[in-house]
Structure formats: structure tokens, C-alpha cells
């Protein structure tokens, strides 16, 4: 009987405990009730709407991903051959925290030059990153940890994710003039004034080439003037180079802004990505590099970059790094890649010429001389909405057109639609 009474008391005690909220007075269903839906990404949201549109005439010029002249994704021949070679290996181990040493070495040559003395002197701290986004985020966290009182100057406009990256790294942001809406060109005077008036030793984010979203880049002479002013003000330049090779078809030419700063003695940071110029969008392979005083400092900085990466993702992915190192490490494959990059760039250059000519032939009252890798069209949000609702043409509401989505099959349709919604301007 005593044992039975004890069993009954224990059962009652368990029922009482189960009836009580485990975490104080909060019910299990209320932990996330205050979470609201996040706003849609302005670029990726365009793709979602495009995919949901059943119209056979739909056109997507919102996302900066390369397409062939049939509007289809492209896998480069050099990538296919690299994949074939890699398929014979069975290495599946973790990469080091800093990533593939071979991939990083080859990547630095693209930015700093094949015969760079900085590479020979081992003055560059560099790690493999999760494409360009990951490189920017790693640097933003590095800036916050070791220059906690600093802020970042970001151009107006810029790729929208730049603001998210430095915001989430808790680095205060300021902006500087870049685009001139009236001329649809570079606001060089405004840019130089802002660089001059920024506190000495400020951090600036610069687009190395193919500025996103405007497609407007400084001339070589303007880059030289910018570099000299940065030097006088002791500013730090962080270059985001997401489109090396895409702007001109020549990776060395597209790195000219960086080479100018290096020639002038700057210590800089660079974000590099292979999403666009090798078509490795889903592989998320890139590189972050920081030029240091000497080899000893570079070793120290790299150790801290790796330390930042450890709690984020521990190690970068293997496969994309294997593809890049296989291509860039083989002279024949690298030569093939350079040819394919030029083919992609030439197609884009041809399409922007055709689009401009088509608009001018239609009698467009607007100037289209500004069309580059991206075209900051000057279309108003209302005009963009009309393009979508009446013509099934999709782009971000700031009017940015990605020329990579323009083909010989849709360029006439696109030009006519743009003319129709702008001719009353």
C-alpha cells in the first residue's frame, strides 16, 4: 500500500509539473509572435515576380547574372573542363579556415598583377571568402573589431546589400556623392568634395569597375585624382570588384583603379568574386585581401580574418575553389577563360549599343549615352511599374537595367516599351 501511495503521489506530481509552463509564464507558442515578415530584397524580389508571370513575352533585366543570347544561363567551357578534371579526385576534407591556398594565390594575381612585388614580399593578408558578399562582410567585421570608432563612406547609389552588410556589422555609415541624375554620369565634383571634407583617415567603399547600379565609372585620369586626394587625406580605400573582366572584356584593364592606388602607395582592401566572370554564382567563391606594411603584419591580419570566419562558417566551400584554382593554375585553361570572359563582355557591349541605337531610332527624347554594364535608366518608379504591368518587363524600381539580360530577341521589344512609357517625359 505504501508503494502504491508513493506511485500515486509521484504521478500526481508529474501531472502538476507538466501542466505548468516550463519557461516561467511564457507559453511555448509566443516566442516568435512579435516577428514580422522581412521586406523583400529589391533585386531577388524582381526575379520572384518574373518567375510567377505566365506571359511568353516577359523579360527580366533586374538581376546581374549573365545570360546567353537566348536568355539561358551559361556554363563556361573552361569550367566544364575543370569539372572534368576534378571529377577524378575524391578529396572531401575541410579546407583550412583561410581557404584554398592555391585559389587565393591565383586570385591575388588578378587584382595585384602577375608580377606584383606585394605578392612576392608576402605583404598581403588574404583568405577565401563566400563570394564577394562574404568578403565585404568579413572586412566590415574586421573594421568594426580593430577600428571600432570608424565609419564607412558608401557611394550614392550603391548595391543595396552594401548597406545591409555594414549595418549588420554595426559599422556606422555615411554616404558620398557619386551619380549625377541630370547628366546620368559621374558627379565628380561632388565626389571629390565629399572625399576632401571627410575626416582624415576615413574608410571609403569604392567600386573597382562596372559600378552597380549605375554602370558609371571614373575615367583613368579621374581615378588618379581620386587616389591623390585619398593619399593627402590618409583615407583607406576598400574596393569591391564583383565584375572584373565584365566591364571591358580585359581583367587587367578592369583592375586599373586598383593598380593606380597601389602605384600611389596606398594600403587597400579588396573584395573579389567569381560569380560573374566565371559564372560560379552558386559556388560562392571569392577572396578578401588586405595589403599590409610587411609580411609579419600580413600574417597577423590573416590570423584575425580567420578568427572572424571561424564562428561564421568555420571553413569556406571546397568545390568552387577547386574549379578556380584548376582554371587559373593551368595556362591553357586560363587562356580559354580569358577568351570566354571577352565573349561575354562583348555580347553585353553589343547589346547596350543596340539598345541605345533602337531608342534613338524610335525618336526617344531622352539621352541614352550613359548605358554601360548596368544602365541607370532614369525611369521613375511609376514608369517601371508600367513596364511591368503593361509589357511584363521586370527591373528594380530605381530603373536599373542589367544589360546581361538583354538579347537580340528582346532588345527591340525592350526599347519600344521603354520609349512608350517615357515619350511623354
Catalytic residues: 159, 240, 276
Asked if 147 contacts 127 with a C-beta cutoff of 8 angstroms, the reply is no
**Radius of gyration, CA atoms only, the chain:** 26
Report residue 310 as a C-alpha cell: 571561424
Helices (H), 234-368: 251-254, 256-263, 295-312, 319-328, 331-361
**168, 229, 276 from 173: Cα distances, Å:** 11, 21, 27
Q: Which residue has the cell 594600403?
A: 267
Report residue 22 as a C-alpha cell: 516550463
3-state helix, strand, coil in the chain (%, to 5): 50, 10, 40
Report residue 228 as a C-alpha cell: 591623390
Q: What value, to the nearest 5°, has the Cα angle with vertex 277 and ends 115 and 352?
A: 120
- From CA 401, how far away is CA 395, in angstroms rounded? 6
- From CA 124, how far away is CA 327, in angstroms rounded? 22
- From CA 287, how far away is CA 292, in angstroms rounded? 16
Residues in the chain: 425
Convert 290-307 to b/e letters by CB count within 10 Å (16 or more is b).
Answer: bbbeeeeebeebbeebbe
Cis peptide, bond prior to residue 213, ω within 30 of zero = yes
Report residue 234 as a C-alpha cell: 590618409
- From CA 370, how far away is CA 389, in angstroms rounded? 26
- Structure letter (DSSP) for residue 28: G
- Structure letter (DSSP) for residue 275: T
241 Cβ neighbours under 8 A, 6+ residues apart: 111, 132, 207, 208, 209, 254, 255, 258, 270, 271, 272, 273
Amino acid at each position: 500500500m505504501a508503494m502504491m501511495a508513493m506511485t500515486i503521489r509521484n504521478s500526481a506530481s508529474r501531472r502538476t509539473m507538466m501542466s505548468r509552463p516550463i519557461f516561467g509564464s511564457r507559453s511555448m507558442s509566443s516566442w516568435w509572435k512579435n516577428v514580422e515578415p522581412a521586406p523583400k530584397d529589391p533585386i531577388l524580389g524582381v526575379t520572384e515576380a518574373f518567375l510567377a508571370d505566365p506571359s511568353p513575352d516577359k523579360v527580366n533585366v533586374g538581376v546581374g547574372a549573365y545570360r546567353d543570347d537566348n536568355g539561358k544561363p551559361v556554363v563556361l567551357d573552361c569550367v566544364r573542363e575543370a569539372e572534368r578534371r576534378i571529377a577524378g579526385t575524391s578529396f572531401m576534407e575541410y579546407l583550412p579556415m583561410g581557404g584554398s591556398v592555391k585559389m587565393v594565390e591565383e586570385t591575388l594575381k588578378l587584382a595585384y598583377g602577375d608580377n606584383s612585388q606585394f605578392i612576392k614580399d608576402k605583404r598581403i593578408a588574404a583568405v577565401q571568402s563566400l563570394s564577394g558578399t562574404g568578403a565585404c562582410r568579413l572586412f566590415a567585421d574586421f573594421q568594426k573589431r580593430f577600428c571600432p570608432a570608424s565609419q564607412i563612406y558608401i557611394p550614392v547609389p550603391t548595391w543595396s546589400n552594401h548597406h545591409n552588410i555594414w549595418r549588420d556589422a554595426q559599422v556606422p555609415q555615411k554616404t558620398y556623392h557619386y551619380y549625377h541624375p541630370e547628366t546620368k554620369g559621374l558627379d565628380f565634383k561632388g565626389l571629390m568634395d565629399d572625399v576632401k571634407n571627410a575626416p582624415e583617415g576615413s574608410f571609403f567603399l569604392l567600386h573597382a569597375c562596372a559600378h552597380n547600379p549605375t554602370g558609371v565609372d571614373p575615367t583613368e585620369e579621374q581615378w588618379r585624382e581620386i587616389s591623390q586626394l585619398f593619399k593627402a587625406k590618409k583615407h583607406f580605400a576598400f574596393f569591391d570588384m564583383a565584375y572584373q573582366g565584365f566591364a571591358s572584356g580585359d581583367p587587367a584593364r578592369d583592375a586599373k583603379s586598383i593598380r593606380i592606388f597601389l602605384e600611389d602607395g596606398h594600403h587597400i582592401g579588396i573584395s573579389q568574386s567569381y560569380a560573374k566572370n566565371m559564372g560560379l554564382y552558386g559556388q560562392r567563391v571569392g577572396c578578401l585581401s588586405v595589403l599590409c606594411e610587411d609580411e609579419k603584419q600580413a600574417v597577423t591580419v590573416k590570423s584575425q580574418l580567420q578568427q572572424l570566419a571561424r564562428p561564421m562558417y568555420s571553413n569556406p566551400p571546397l568545390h568552387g575553389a577547386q574549379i578556380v584554382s584548376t582554371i587559373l593554375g593551368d595556362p591553357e585553361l586560363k587562356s580559354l577563360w580569358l577568351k570566354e570572359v571577352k565573349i561575354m563582355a562583348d555580347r553585353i557591349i553589343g547589346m547596350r549599343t543596340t539598345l541605345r541605337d533602337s531608342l534613338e531610332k524610335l525618336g526617344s527624347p531622352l539621352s541614352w549615352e550613359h548605358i554601360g554594364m548596368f544602365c541607370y535608366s532614369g525611369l521613375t518608379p511609376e514608369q517601371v511599374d508600367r513596364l511591368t504591368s503593361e509589357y511584363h518587363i521586370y527591373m528594380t524600381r530605381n530603373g536599373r537595367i542589367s544589360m546581361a539580360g538583354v538579347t537580340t530577341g528582346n532588345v527591340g521589344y525592350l526599347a519600344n516599351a521603354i520609349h512608350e512609357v517615357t515619350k511623354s517625359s
